Amino acid sequence: MKIAVLPGDGIGPEVTREAVRVIEALGLPDIEMKEAPVGGAAYKAYGHPLPAETLEIARLSDGILFGAVGDPDCDSLERHLRPEQAILGLRKELTLFANLRPAKVFAGLEGHSALRPEVAGAIDMVIVRELNGDVYFGEKGFRTAANGDREGYDVMSYNESEVRRIAHVGFRTAMGRNKRLCSVDKANVLETSQLWRDVVIEVAKEYPEVTLEHMYVDNAAMQLVRAPGKFDVVLTGNLFGDILSDQASMCVGSIGLLASASLGERQTAHGTFGLYEPIHGSAPDIAGQGLANPLATILSAAMLLRHSLGLATAADRVEAAVAKTLADGVLGRDLGGTAGTTEIGDAVLARL
């Protein structure tokens, strides 16, 4: 079973290292990990954020463990050469359209949420975010307006096939949980969202057991803070899901805790091909200091074991070790503690 390891930039290599150590410590037979450059690191070494060789290693793997990309040195490069294009490119090239971002409060961490403990304690949701469409992939550019002003534009669009396939993922996810789906859009203003809503309503007919609710994204942002425990599965587009999941992370306690799986339809001999990454970025402000919380990446590795390698027991072991680490009070600075990246990794290893 092949895992492509793409550490990337900033804290990406630091958190990925800990996740790799955890996978190695499981002592699983037949696991082969192959590392490849991506992001700003790849641009600096090879002139492109997603070199063809890296894409090929990713394509030939059963699952990809991804750190993060983004480097302030590269922020003025032409858009197609910027590090972020690597993750967007991987998602698009490999048709990884379904991004699952579970957000659940760990036992003992209720008091570390940005919300009141009794509000935070009820959080147990999955955000299902579409990943291959929306304003991130529309036509974009700069132009001159009639009055001579400089103007930037990014076209937002979804076609019905794109909405339908992610809606099915949302409903199937809800069927495996508490059968409640909240579809988040901005249909009061955007035609893209009106189509989204219409298609979600059509797909809902195939899942009569699921209770479907629609919510405008501005209200959803508010409800996520007011009563996050009311959400079960949140289904939404690329942009809204990006924003709401960072917000959900602070409801849980830290962006350093939220893992994700990006899945498509391709099946391998062992499971569903996918890419696994923490929801956070390369955090240049703390990079290279050993301060990053690696738990989101370690939990992403657990998702890889479960979804792409069919190793549910190993995934359970990793998740239990992470929960125990937190319950034992091994906390990084993001959670008000003092443990560094390696120390947190060591603590998980000791509890496997």
Ligand X SMILES: NC(=O)C1=CN([C@@H]2O[C@H](COP(=O)(O)OP(=O)(O)OC[C@H]3O[C@@H](n4cnc5c(N)ncnc54)[C@H](O)[C@@H]3O)[C@@H](O)[C@H]2O)C=CC1
Catalytic member of 154, 218, 316, 328: 218
Min separation Cβ 39 and ligand X, Å: 7
Would you tell me which residues interact with ligand X (CB under 6 A)?
11, 15, 68-70, 84, 87, 255-256, 277, 280-286, 292-293, 296, 334
121 among annotated binding-site residues: no
**The one segment of 78-86, 99-107, 239-247, 326-334 that binds Mg ion by CB under 5 A:** 239-247
Nearest 10 degrees: Cα torsion 138, 143, 145, 147? 160
Least Å distance between CB 242 and ligand COI?
Answer: 5
Partnered with residue 124 across adjacent β-strands are 104
Please classify residue 142 by burial: count the beta carbons closer than 10 Å to its beta carbon, then call 0-12 exposed, 13-18 middle and 19+ buried.
Answer: exposed
Residues 182, 180: Cα–Cα separation, whole Å? 7
Distance between CA atoms of residues 44 and 32, nearest Å: 27
Segment interacting with ligand COI, rule: CB under 6 A, options 24-32, 82-90, 302-310, 332-340: 82-90
The answer to whether the annotation marks 242 as part of a ligand binding site is yes
Q: Does 242 bind Mg ion (CB under 5 A)?
A: yes
Given 158, 242, 324, 334, the catalytic residue: 242
Residue 282 binding result from ligand COI, Mg ion, ligand X, none, given CB thresholds of 5 to 8 Å by partner type: ligand X
Query: Known catalytic residue: 136?
Result: yes
CA distance 256 to 33: 23
* 242 contacts ligand COI (rule: CB under 6 A): yes
**Cα 7 from Cα 49, distance rounded (Å):** 12
Query: Does residue 186 carry a catalytic annotation?
Result: yes
Are the C-beta atoms of 187 and 158 separated by less than 8 Å?
A: no
Q: Are 89 and 310 in contact (CB under 8 A)?
A: no
289 is in an annotated binding site: yes
Give the one residue of 3, 6, 41, 87 binding ligand COI; rule: CB under 6 A.
87
263 contacts: CB under 8 Å, gap ≥ 6: 96, 97, 98, 99, 100, 169, 272, 273, 274, 307
Residue list, annotated binding site for Mg(2+) = 218, 242, 246
Residue list, annotated binding site for substrate = 91, 101, 129, 218
Q: What residues act catalytically? A: 136, 186, 218, 242, 246
Residues that bind ligand COI (CB under 6 A): 84, 87-88, 242, 279
